[in-house]
Amino acid sequence: MKKQWWKWSLLTILIILLLVQPGQAAEVVQVEMNGLQVEFDTPAIINNNRVMVPFRGLAELLDVQVEWLADSQTVVAVAPGAQIRLQVGNQTAYQNQQKIQLDAPPLLTKGRVLVPLRFFSEAFGCQVAWKPDERLAQLVSPPATMEVLAYYALGDKTSSSWEDLFGKPYPDHDRGHTDLVSRLALGWFSLDEAGNLLTQSRTGWQRPDGWEDVIAVSRSRGLNNEMTIHMVNGQGEITALLNDAEACQRAVDEISREASHYDGVNLDLEGLGLSARGTELQELRAKYTAFVTMLAGRLHQEGKTISLSLHPPNSSYQGYDYASLGKVCDRLIIMAYDYGPKPEPMAKVRDAIEKTLAQVPAHRVLLGISVPAEDPTSLAEKVELARRYDIQGIALWRLGLVDDGMWQSLSSRIIAK
């Protein structure tokens, strides 16, 4: 029995030695991009005191086009204004046709080509820092170009949307933060069950005196404007509207008429599908989609855009057919917040994005961010998520609540398009 125990012990040790290949026992190297950890399909390693990472994963992270020339084992990477060429085992690289001597050449290991992280990243405008005690490489990319939609509401003396956007008390104005915003969702309208468009609602949304000034000044600063229609299904108001074909037609007519003052419409009908199940839920989704389709058709015919502000797919409100809505609307704003903890948990926000992208093209998706739930650091993390998933941009709820630290955080991470 004792002999058999030793035999099995030696066999186990032999298997472990065979499985653990050279380099696997090396210390773990972590990589962060703009504050978020990066997960590569092949772990980063250190070779000749240089961090090496898989070139395709890094290229995707930096939004760089790459080509693998198998015959010469050469990587070619291209972005506007920059091109590099690296060859496996060759310490001579080329950056914009100029020779560069590398401390560590690219490696081919387990079917993956690993390239020097610092050289590759800096060639495309990133800053790279190495924290030896933590075995952590930190990358900061150049600001990303994305759409930034900001909700504009009345606020009060301490949370004025006008002053936050234009930098001065109404009616004076300056550039303010208009360079960090590309589209305004003007929260001034609601609907009733009969489909009448309201400029004052029970939930506090109202069109202010001097609303024409907001449109004129924002347009002079190059911003697009959407009239936002907010309605909550608290007592079944939206359901009643959707069940009445005549009311839906009236709503489309009145919204279309008012939309002549704006570049588009932002429809924010919240609370659908909280308790509906089965056939009832499917019918509710179909009716909402039919209403949106009718409105979108009218608006597009008149040269206007339509955005939808929607609960995320991982919320309690399941009354939205994202795939169908994504086909008829210009943009879907996924309000990935109100999960409970503050700041909003990254895992939940990431899940909301992924569930949306499984049904809607990325170029039609904006990540909604609730400013009161965030701080400058967590806001930057949400922006980085939007960049990594290559979605259209972000939507900020709301102007008047974005503090100086948040504006500074945004200015370092985005260029509004």
CA distance readout (Å), 117 to 75, 92, 384, 396: 14, 15, 19, 33
Spatial CA neighbour of 291 closest among 323, 321, 231, 249:
249
CA distance readout (Å), 94 to 58, 87, 248, 337: 18, 10, 62, 46
Q: Are 172 and 224 in contact (CB under 8 A)?
A: no
Helices (H), 276-330: 278-301, 322-328
Q: What are phi and psi of 343, to 5 degrees?
A: -60, 160
**pLDDT given at position 24:** 41
**pLDDT given at position 27:** 57
Per residue of the chain (417 residues), give pLDDT as tens.
444 444 444 444 343 334 334 434 445 799 999 999 999 999 999 988 999 999 999 999 999 999 999 999 999 999 999 999 999 999 999 999 999 999 999 999 888 999 999 999 999 999 999 999 999 999 999 999 999 999 999 887 788 999 999 999 999 999 999 999 999 999 999 999 999 999 988 777 899 999 999 999 999 999 999 999 999 999 999 999 999 999 999 999 999 999 999 999 999 999 999 999 999 999 999 999 999 999 999 999 999 999 999 999 999 999 999 999 999 999 999 999 999 999 999 999 999 999 999 999 999 999 999 999 999 999 999 999 999 999 999 999 999 999 999 999 999 999 999
**pLDDT given at position 377:** 96
**pLDDT given at position 349:** 98
**pLDDT given at position 110:** 85
**pLDDT given at position 10:** 42
Which DSSP string do the residues of 157-199 spell out, in sequence order? TTS-HHHHHHSSSTT---STTGGG-SEEEEEEEEE-TT--EES
Q: Is the pTM of this model over 0.85?
A: yes
**pLDDT given at position 21:** 42
**pLDDT given at position 247:** 98
**pLDDT given at position 23:** 39
Give all domains of the chain, ordered by start, each with its CATH number. 30-140 (3.30.457.10), 144-416 (3.20.20.80)
Q: How far apart are CA 59 and CA 118, in angstroms?
A: 13
**pLDDT given at position 22:** 42
The tokens of 150 are what? 């900001």
125: which residues sit within 8 A by CB, 6+ positions away?
82, 141, 142
Half-sphere exposure at residue 97, Cβ-oriented, CA atoms within 13 angstroms: 1
Written as one letter, the residue type at 79 is A
Q: What are phi and psi of 132, to 5 degrees?
A: -65, -35
